[in-house]
Structure 1
């Protein structure tokens, strides 16, 4: 079969920062408009969507960290570059836009790489959805996460929020946040399972990159299967779940990582995973 994978370590981002570790395994995306708390634009939405779609074919990147610059994660869609133009669009253009924003969430979910969101300060609107789409979330005590769509007269049903948020924090809590538009504090987010852990602001990125490195150096192919099954099993009954996982695990047992792990255990050594 033709190998259609290619390295993305040297990808030249136009609307956000992109930096990879020396071996290319850990990539860090930085939303870098700190003067406005890193809002998204039409262009950054589209480029992020296209990048996460391209990550399906990356030969080097095994884990992605996404953060914001200047002490905030992302304030959502830029008020004057997105919100104001939307008020003048007709229905077909509005639907094209809302489908594009949802495509970003789908692309993050479909990318095989685990995605770790490092969330400091403001995390609102579309930014909160990018964080929710990530597989793991680390925050700081000053993180404030808000699904504030109702604050601009819209439904809380945006970019998959009504499906994703209840699965992470529970139906009742999600209903309150999506209808009130209030901020979820860092303490609430940690207690409710939104955050995997909280760190001091200066320790946030190192912690996120350390987690990403651990995942990238682990049984990477197996991690991609775990992510796939976590996403697929939402709509399955118990029979389908068990059978799907039986097939997935049997596939992982064919990898050299599985044999390496056994050989290392037998030799009383730490396994060295290669991801295939």
Structure 2
């Protein structure tokens, strides 16, 4: 399997500790915008994580007090004005492929959001499984503010599932900022933490997940995303099959043996 612990990123920060990959964009002086290169490399990295047994969970963190300011105005938006329809579609499909890769990577992703989290940055947070925020987090889906539609990178499909159709409609039509308090009340953010503790809280949560049954986590993530397009009957049958597969893992047996011995199970992901 792919060894991602030794991966050296070119267009963002990447480090791995105890099976937890920490990703941060690295242009704090501009509030960490995305570029053509960072989009493409992030897409490729999350695709590779499917095959990386050495990565158990991912934290997508903030840098310099901000998460991500979206697509870089000079490096992305300006050049897009010179592309033909084929080139534009190639770009929009690439950005959507990042979300697809995050959803299908098989690893729990925790977004640790501080400060600005807008445009494609808000999409990255949305595509994560769990979101922590500081009180200073400012989240906005800005696409209509630059003359585009709110339907970008899966926003119209995913955001309503998290916060509801009405609230998602307001944010996507207006492009206004959602405060951290609103985000927590609406269920976008799982909880608000002190800025000084954001990284530690995210790593602690990721470590808790990494110590769990990783094959089971992969199956949970898979079913959480697949079951939106299933009927209740199909979902129940799919979960029956998924759980039967998990019952053949060694982690299932380890949990039973640990229970009998009154010990904490040491999961290994097989």
Structure 2 length as normaliser, TM-score? 0.99
Q: How many residue pairs get matched? A: 270
1:134 aligned onto 2:128: yes
Unaligned runs of 5+ in 1: none
Look up the match of 2:41: 47
Pairs within 5 Å for 1:38-117: 38-117=32-111
Deviation at 1:269, TM superposition (A): 1.1
Runs ≥4 residues deviating over 3 A: none
Deviation at 1:270, TM superposition (A): 1.0
Unaligned runs of 5+ in 2: none
Summarize deviations over 1:178-224 as a string: whole Å, max 9, x none: 00000000000000110111111110010001110010111111000
2:207 to 184, 190, 213: 213
Pairs within 5 Å for 1:92-241: 92-241=86-235
Aligned to 1:92, the other structure's residue is in SS state helix
For 2:152 and 2:264, the matched residues in 1 are separated by: 45
Report if the CA contact (8 A) 1:32-1:68 is conserved. Answer: no
Aligned to 1:176, the other structure's residue is in SS state helix
1:8 aligned onto 2:23: no
Deviation at 1:88, TM superposition (A): 1.6
Look up the match of 1:37: 31
Q: RMSD of aligned C-alpha atoms?
A: 0.6
Summarize deviations over 1:114-152 as a string: whole Å, max 9, x none: 000000000000000011000110000010000010000
Aligned to 2:34, the other structure's residue is in SS state coil
For 1:112 and 1:156, the matched residues in 2 are separated by: 27
1:246 to 226, 236, 240: 240
Q: Which moved more, 1:165-174 or 1:62-71?
A: 62-71
1:18 to 7, 14, 18: 14
Aligned to 1:195, the other structure's residue is in SS state coil
Look up the match of 1:255: 249
Deviation at 1:68, TM superposition (A): 2.3
Structure 1 length as normaliser, TM-score? 0.97
